Amino acid sequence: MLYKYNKTLVGNAQELRKNMTPEEKQLWYQFLKKLPITVNRQINIGDYIVDFFIGQKRLAIEIDGLQHLLPEHKTEDNIRDDYLKSLGITVLRYSNHSINNNFNAVCNDILKHLGLTAMDLRK
């Protein structure tokens, strides 16, 4: 399914794909890229860019740095999540800390939301 998007954000999304954070790179190269379904990086949906998007499952995955702990960012994140939910998209959020310290738990949680197991991963 295609979603409307803000065309002025296309360049930003391309730049974010080229300059992923270490935690985004880890999740992408060590896990998401191996999934047996299509996962897109830095996809525009509406006026937002989501870190990872699995269209087939209507699932967005966000990797949050420390700035997301600030009250103003939490408010913005809630508005963004509500918008995505209004489109039928489930949003999973993981902190950089979780990626760095609980990577297997993050991967297992994503698999659970996708209805997959570790046995389903591509080699």
Name residue 40's beta-bridge partners: 53
pLDDT of 103 > 70? The answer is yes
Classify domain 35-114 at the CATH topology level.
Endonuclease; Chain A (3.40.960)
Alpha-carbon span 15 to 109, nearest angstrom: 28
pTM of the full structure: 0.85
The structural domains of the chain, with segments of one domain joined by +, span: 35-114
Residues of the chain above pLDDT 90, percent: 63
15 vs 38, residue with greater confidence: 38
| The two three-digit tokens of residue 83, written as one number | 């918008």
- pLDDT tens readout for residues 23-74: 999 999 999 999 999 999 999 999 899 999 999 999 999 998 756 555 667 7
Mean per-residue pLDDT of the chain: 87
Q: Which DSSP string corresponds to 3-66?
A: --B-GGGHHHHHHHHHT--HHHHHHHHHTGGGSSS--EEEEEEBTEEEEEEEGGGTEEEEEE-G
